[in-house]
Amino acid sequence: MKLIRLITAIVAFALAFAPKPTPYSGVVASGESAYESRADLLGATLFVFSESGITVQNGKYSGYSIAGNELKLEESGTYVLRGSTSNASVKIRKGITDVVLVLGGVVLKSETTAPIVCAKGSEALIIAASGTVNTLEDNELNNDKTHTDNTDAENAVIKCKDGSNVVIAGGGTLNIVANGNNGIKGGASTEYDGDSSLTIAELTLNITAPVGDALKSDAELNIVSGTVNVDAYDDGIKSELVLNIGKQGTEGPSINVINSTEGIEGAMINIYSGDITVNAYEDGVNAANGDLVNYSFAMNVYGGRLYINSQTGDGIDSNGVINIEGGEVAVHSSSRSDNSPFDSDGGFTLKGGTVFGIGMHGMGALPNTVEQTYIVFGANSGFVGGFGGGFPGGDPPTMPGGDPPAMPGGFGGNTNSGISLKEGDEIVITDSNGNTVCTTTAKRTSTFVFFSSADLKTGDTYKLIVNGTEAASTQATTEAGANMFPGGKGGWGKGGRGSTDNGNSDSKHNTGDTDEKPDIDAPNEGKPTRVPIIVCAAMALVTLASVIALVAVAAKNRKLKNSNRFVE
């Protein structure tokens, strides 16, 4: 008993003289998130913002200065922000590392500059504390292009300058309202300032950018986890160099680009995991950067779930390659004839995943490197019907001298010629046994459907059912670019083997309308495509081919070289 009393007395003595927890030490519950657990909250310095100024409750970190409504962090440490103000800013000094900035329930607005600035070469962890909602907002004056006299403009709500490495994380919510220009802007990597990166993880991040881009980096941008919702006038999510979404073996982030001009853009885009919805006025996902020369532009999908709705542009557009190895990809692209679900300048590689595309037929719409079976139902199919070989449908024309000239086999025909889909059409793809492979709803006028999955069987016949009626059928293939322009029913001469690919997807999108996610899906628009121009073009090609055939016969039966060129 004496021993117990002695221990009790020692504990009581220790507690009596132990450092008292500060009022802000409970801002973050230990272990709420991986990044929050790193914060030294027991020793943090607390800043409370109000309309009357900034008050301080000191912890063990005193590397700061306050000048009016501006707080400068000048040394490493953990700093907590609370309160509300209509005009203040926080700036992390150039070259300072190991700064932890905890948003513990703060509303921070700024009239002329960015609410938070991370200067060149700085390293900072910005935490939205678990259980808190935080709002950062700028003013329209925070744009030096439209307000050239404002020397304080930073053109973003959170501005991370060149050479900075910033992580924005935590278990709470951060709302960004960008009235000046961009929402969050990461810096560039330079020889003088060093490498730069911007990473988003764990938190719920909501960005509204009615003037510029929502989330942008001039260097590497990583969206590892958490929830990211962006509504932008310009680009939704953009990196001038590498954009990484998710990590292999993880659930990844939930990303919703509600509105944008171009949804996601980067010179190299790598999608490893996550659930991503993109609504864009122009291209949905674009691997490009007009300022880079001789760069290996690439759009790589290794996993995750990607749903794209593009109103007037391509679904996925790459100035280099498109490479799909896994995950689920569903694309509803524009009804404009010069756009398609997939458009690549450097080639389209299909190795795996479940891939669906619906829209118009473009030159890069089909994979040219294929390791997985796919099917296509093409609107432009049929009018080249085995170019140089089987001409579009019907009996061979009567030719002088009896039998029609022997023509080299072309890409031949299918029965999916001239499909025309309109907004609201219910689309079902079935296998040879009548089993449903996928279903979706057309979002706008479409004449091309692509589908690929590991479940398709090469050589099997698949049907496209539109509003309960069979519209087309095709055979599954693994041929590279096996139907840049799928053939119509072969006519006279030996028509080549044509094929058509289909696509389906059920997914969710948010551009004003909410759709059910199927196995992949998207939005709607447009009137049915009309075919007369295609028919006229077909007849012109038939006439031209006949003339060529006669010339070939007259030239000592010299055979024409088979053409592999596809005409759009």
Query: What are the pLDDT digits (tens) for 389-423?
Result: 333 333 333 333 333 333 333 333 344 457 899 99
Question: Is 398 exposed, middle or buried, given 0-12, 13-18 or 19+ CB atoms closer than 10 A?
Answer: exposed
Give the single-character DSSP code of 565. P
pLDDT at 32: 60
Pure H helices in 405-484: none
Name, in order, each residue with C-beta under 8 angstroms of 297's C-beta and a sequence gap of 6 or more: 267, 268, 287, 288, 289, 318, 319, 320, 321, 345, 346
Cβ-proximal residues to 8 (8 Å cutoff; 6+ apart), any chain:
none
DSSP designation for 294: S
Q: What is the pLDDT of residue 140?
A: 96
User: What is the per-residue pLDDT for 543?
Assistant: 44
Q: Are 520 and 329 in contact (CB under 8 A)?
A: yes
Residues 442/504, Cβ–Cβ less than 8 Å: no
Q: How many residues does the chain have?
A: 568
CB 288 within 8 A of CB 261: no
Per-residue pLDDT tens over the stretch 359-377: 998 766 899 999 999 999 9
**Contacts (Cβ under 8 Å, ≥6 apart) of 249:** 273
Reduce the DSSP state of residue 73 to 3 states and report it. Answer: strand
Q: pLDDT tens, 425-462?
A: 999 999 999 999 999 999 999 999 999 999 999 999 99
State the Cα–Cα distance between residues 43 and 77, nearest whole angstrom: 9
The pLDDT tens digits for 130-150 are 999 999 999 999 999 999 999
User: Is the model's pLDDT at 539 over the cut of 60?
Assistant: no
Which residues are bridge partners to 433 per DSSP? none
> Which is more confident, 180 or 389?
180
- Is the pLDDT at 338 greater than 70, yes or no? yes
Task: Tell me the C-alpha distance between 521 and 500, whole Å.
Answer: 20
Distances (CA, A) of 528 to 103, 180, 445: 51, 41, 5
Residue 534 backbone phi and psi in degrees, to 5: -65, -40
Q: Is the pTM of this model over 0.85?
A: no
Q: What three-state secondary structure class fits 141?
A: coil
Q: What is the mean pLDDT of the chain?
A: 79
**d(Cα 336, Cα 555) in Å, to the nearest integer?**
42
